[in-house]
């Protein structure tokens, strides 16, 4: 691979990063807060490609041909993967093979307005498990996540929480009771409305706390724009 070809690969890779960063595609790989860094990386790669091409065009001394390392063409693999393959968000298969990542928060803010109260999976689970449901008493809640069914058929509402990127995503789980749909399909996204239910289940993978939610109604919803839960670091 000569310098001109290297510049072309860099340009295409930078363009692919910019494409991902200006659409929702990047949310399949990294958290939304990293979007500026992703766009900056794409811009730097494009600038490097243009500088390389300009430099090569200005070289006027005689070149001595020599074989280029063929391994350099492997740089095309991540580019092709980014362009041709849009991986699905992690789902029930990953969730059931990882223990809940729920951790005790530093504190709880006031509940949002509304009836029912819209809460993330992480927010509801932490209030129910570590706050013993005190802030949830007397309030109906609405939570959205995907379904996971364990080996015994017990249903969980799950959201994968990110620290940085999809590679470190970990599940936070809510055990569902009450008025559940007659057919439960793993990985289906549901918006459930219900109320705090006392008691805790234990995650069979790491013995972590899994709070209950008593469902009063539910409805299927499309996969959200950002399938990961980013309240993890807030």
pLDDT for 218 beyond 80: yes
Same domain membership, residue 154 and residue 96: yes
Read off the pLDDT band of 195 (50, 70, 90): very high
User: Hey, which of 98-112, 164-178, 185-199 has the most confident mean pLDDT?
Assistant: 185-199
Same domain membership, residue 134 and residue 64: no
Residue 164: predicted pLDDT: 72
Q: Which of 84, 111, 138 is the last residue of a domain?
A: 84
Q: Which domain holds residue 41?
A: 3-84
As a whole number of angstroms, the distance between CA 55 and CA 58 comes to: 5
Same domain membership, residue 208 and residue 123: yes
Q: Which of 84, 118, 153 is the last residue of a domain?
A: 84
The DSSP bridge partners found for residue 143 are 119, 192
Residue 234: predicted pLDDT: 43
- Above pLDDT 90, what percent of the chain? 36
Same domain membership, residue 80 and residue 104: no
Read off the pLDDT band of 233 (50, 70, 90): very low
Same domain membership, residue 135 and residue 205: yes
- Above pLDDT 70, what percent of the chain? 79
- Is the bond into 116 cis (omega within 30 degrees of 0)? yes
Q: Which of 84, 114, 130 is the last residue of a domain?
A: 84
- 86-90, 97-101, 103-107, 118-122: least confidently modelled range: 86-90
Higher pLDDT, 25 or 173: 173
Same domain membership, residue 98 and residue 60: no
Give first-to-last CA distance, the chain, whole Å. Answer: 46
Same domain membership, residue 125 and residue 145: yes
Higher pLDDT, 22 or 129: 129
Q: What sign does the CA torsion over 98, 169, 188, 213 have?
A: positive
pTM: 0.72
Higher pLDDT, 99 or 169: 99
Nearest to 231 by CA among 156, 126, 120, 142: 120
Cβ atoms of 208 and 139 within 8 Å: the answer is: no
As a whole number of angstroms, the distance between CA 224 and CA 156 comes to: 18
As a whole number of angstroms, the distance between CA 116 and CA 214 comes to: 13
pLDDT digits (tens, 9 = 90+) for 68-83: 556 556 666 766 666 6
Same domain membership, residue 219 and residue 105: yes
Same domain membership, residue 224 and residue 116: yes
Same domain membership, residue 117 and residue 190: yes
Number of domains composing the chain: 2
Same domain membership, residue 78 and residue 25: yes
Read off the pLDDT band of 63 (50, 70, 90): low
As a whole number of angstroms, the distance between CA 31 and CA 18 comes to: 15
CATH number at residue 134: 2.40.50.140
As a whole number of angstroms, the distance between CA 49 and CA 45 comes to: 6
**Residue 47 backbone phi and psi in degrees, to 5:** -60, -40
Same domain membership, residue 146 and residue 122: yes
Nearest to 147 by CA among 114, 174, 187: 187
Cβ atoms of 119 and 142 within 8 Å: the answer is: yes
């Amino acid at each position: 691979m000569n310098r001109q070809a290297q510049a072309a690969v860099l340009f295409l890779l930078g363009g692919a990063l910019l494409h991902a960063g200006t659409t929702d595609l990047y949310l399949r790989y990294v958290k939304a807060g990293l979007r500026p860094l992703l766009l900056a990386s794409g811009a730097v790669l494009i600038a490097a490609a243009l500088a390389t091409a300009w430099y090569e065009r200005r070289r006027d001394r005689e070149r001595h041909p020599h074989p280029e390392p063929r391994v350099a063409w492997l740089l095309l693999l991540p580019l092709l993967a980014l362009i041709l393959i849009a991986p699905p968000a992690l789902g029930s298969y990953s969730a059931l093979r990882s223990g809940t990542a729920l951790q005790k928060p530093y504190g709880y803010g006031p509940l949002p307005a509304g009836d029912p109260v819209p809460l993330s999976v992480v927010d509801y689970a932490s209030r129910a498990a570590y706050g013993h449901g005190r802030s949830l008493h007397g309030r109906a809640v609405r939570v959205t996540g995907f379904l996971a069914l364990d080996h015994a058929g017990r249903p969980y509402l799950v959201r994968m929480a990110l620290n940085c990127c999809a590679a470190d995503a970990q599940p936070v789980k809510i055990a569902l009771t009450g008025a559940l749909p007659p057919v439960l399909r793993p990985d289906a996204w549901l918006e459930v409305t219900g109320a705090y239910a006392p008691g805790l289940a234990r995650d069979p993978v790491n013995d972590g706390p899994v709070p209950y939610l008593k469902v009063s109604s539910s409805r299927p919803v499309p996969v959200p724009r950002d399938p990961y839960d980013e309240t993890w670091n807030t």
